[in-house]
Amino acid sequence: MKGVTALDDDMARAAETIGPVELLVGIPSYRNAATIGHVARTVREGLSRSFGGMRVAVVNSDGGSEDGTRDRVAEALDGTPRIVGRYVGLPGKGSAFRAIFELAGRLNARACAVVDSDLRSITPEWIQRLLAPIVEDRADYVAPLYARHKHDGTITNTIAYPLTRALYGLRVRQPIGGEFGFSGALARDFLEGGAFVPQARRPSEGEAEHLSAREESPRPSVQNEVWEGDVARFGIDIYMTTTALVRGARVAQAFLGAKVHDPKDPGADLGPMFRQVVGTAFRLAAANRAKWAAVKGSREAPVLGDVHPVDPEEVRADAALLVRRFGEGATEHGATWDASLSKETRAAVRRAMDEAIPHALAGETWARVVYDMLAASARDPSRTAERVTALVPLYFGRVAAFIDDARDMTTAGSERLVEDQALAFEAAKAYLSAQLAA
């Protein structure tokens, strides 16, 4: 991978002009002219308020917008060191982050943060809470903690959170939240393969004398695979969080209040995102089995900032559409279900098919559905995409059941359902190990 860069000429030239910085904030974008100006101005204010004496820069890593997105950023950041350009690579959020990671290395950034470009609820305090723990050496990785509507974050609630918690033993409530803080060292690790690459032995002082800086930590060949697959798209967030956990980084959570952004209906919008997030999570789980096999239970990740009640903006979800998509999945993916799910799990899915709302897809049954698909993917990695695609309609059924269960609950009250599901994943972890050993 020597000589390969995710930076276009504009970004590379700007990096040379700016030189070393202490703090770097990245904003990935694609056609976000309506919202990104507000985000960029808020980032600028947050840096000025909390880190006024430090060398800073803001990066807009864009996917080729033609709606004036980059112009809005340049206007909002007038007077602030900035790097604005189009990343090089597969279209997707992960490729945008790849350019930000590369710039963190080039600029020798001590601490970095990334924020989404469609945020309407971002405040200057977000920047302080994401970066200060890194600057003050209290954490290496800061995940967001939001108050989200009970219909929002369905991929997080049904798989990303319970699976990450059960496997790696830390309760990171929003492992794919979008806003993160991380050290410059982790940025380099993300760039070079992260949790897909076994941690290399550090050279001794004598060995180091005979190695150049690049030779000390060469980019592994697996980097090609990382940045040419799901990580280059929506798999990036779970890749970062898992890498931090696998590497033993100090992980904390920053309470950011409500997250108000462009919401997505799980039945209409989230299929591709689900496949990329869950496909990445499955591949990471298979690659790091030795790291999580002996982990039992889970512990809280420390929360930075006062957690206070917040009333998030309502997110509408079409439960009837979800049920219909679940029913249609049996026709399209029934053969994959039969080949991947255990006899007991297949029986539970059939029971769910007979229900008006598939409540059979809950608790330990849902955990076993996910674990069966994960184990089948680990046994035959070439068919991971097929297994994850076949899991999508089952996920639709699980979300429909959650919506029905939470119908008369407040958002805060529905959190108990999420926690119960996470505990079921922990309880069924021995089942996963048995399936992998079969």
Give yes or no for a contact between 240 and 194, defined as CB atoms under 8 angstroms apart. Answer: yes
Give the three-class secondary structure for 206.
Answer: helix
Cβ atoms < 10 Å from Cβ of 62: 25
Give one DSSP letter per residue of 226-291, joined into a string: HTTSGGGTTTHHHHHHHHHHHTT--EEEEEEEE--S----HHHH-HHHHHHHHHHHHHHHHHTHHH
Please tell me which residue, 113 or 269, carries the higher pLDDT value.
Answer: 113
Tell me how far the alpha carbon of residue 38 is from its chain's centroid.
23
* pLDDT value at residue 266: 58
* pLDDT value at residue 223: 67
Q: Residue 202: pLDDT above 80?
A: no
Give the three-class secondary structure for 215.
Answer: helix
pTM (2 decimals)?
Answer: 0.93
* pLDDT value at residue 211: 35
Q: What is the mean pLDDT of residues 66-81?
A: 97
Q: Name the average pLDDT for the chain.
A: 92
Q: Residue 305: pLDDT above 50?
A: yes
CATH class assigned to 9-304: alpha beta
| Least confident among 274-278, 309-313, 388-392 | 309-313
Give one DSSP letter per residue of 361-423, joined into a string: SSHHHHHHHHHHHHHHHHH-GGGHHHHHHHHHHHHHHHHHHHHHHTTTS-HHHHHHHHHHHHH
Q: Residues near 91 by Cβ (< 8 Å), separated by ≥ 6?
A: 30, 63, 64, 233
Q: Which of 186, 323, 300 is nearest to 241 (CA)?
A: 186
Label residue 4 by pLDDT band (50, 70, 90). confident
Q: Residue 231: pLDDT above 60?
A: yes
Residue type, 55: R
* pLDDT value at residue 317: 87
Q: What is the mean pLDDT of residues 323-332?
A: 95
* Segment of 49-58, 196-205, 306-315 carrying the highest mean pLDDT: 49-58
As a whole-number percent, the residues of the chain with pLDDT over 90 amount to: 83
Q: What is the mean pLDDT of residues 412-431?
A: 97
Q: Residue 210: pLDDT above 50?
A: no
Task: DSSP letter for 39, please.
Answer: H
Give yes or no for a contact between 47 and 80, defined as CB atoms under 8 angstroms apart. Answer: yes
Q: What does the block give as tokens for 100? A: 């930000």
137-188 confidence digits (pLDDT tens): 999 999 999 988 999 999 999 999 999 999 999 999 999 999 999 999 999 9
φ, ψ for residue 392 (rounded to 5)? -55, -55
Q: Residue 401: pLDDT above 80?
A: yes
86-96 confidence digits (pLDDT tens): 999 999 999 99
* pLDDT value at residue 265: 54
Q: Residue 215: pLDDT above 80?
A: no
Q: Residue 26: pLDDT above 90?
A: yes
* pLDDT value at residue 3: 54
* pLDDT value at residue 207: 37
Q: Residues near 204 by Cβ (< 8 Å), separated by ≥ 6?
A: none
Q: What is the mean pLDDT of residues 318-344?
A: 96
C-alpha separations of 314 from 152, 286, 292 in Å:
8, 36, 36
- CB-based burial label for 79 (10 Å; 0-12, 13-18, 19+): exposed
Domain locations in the chain? Answer: 9-304, 319-437
Q: Residue 206: pLDDT above 70?
A: no
240-267 confidence digits (pLDDT tens): 999 999 999 999 999 999 888 765 555 5
| Least confident among 61-65, 227-231, 313-317, 348-352 | 313-317
C-alpha separations of 45 from 53, 70, 124, 206 in Å:
13, 19, 6, 46
Give one DSSP letter per residue of 70-132, joined into a string: HHHHHHHTTTS-EEEEE--SSSSHHHHHHHHHHHHHHTT-SEEEE--TT-SS--HHHHHHHHH
Q: What does the block give as tokens for 60? A: 């807009």
* pLDDT value at residue 262: 66
- Give the position of tokens 């904390």: 252
Give the three-class secondary structure for 142.
Answer: strand
Q: What is the mean pLDDT of residues 361-385?
A: 97
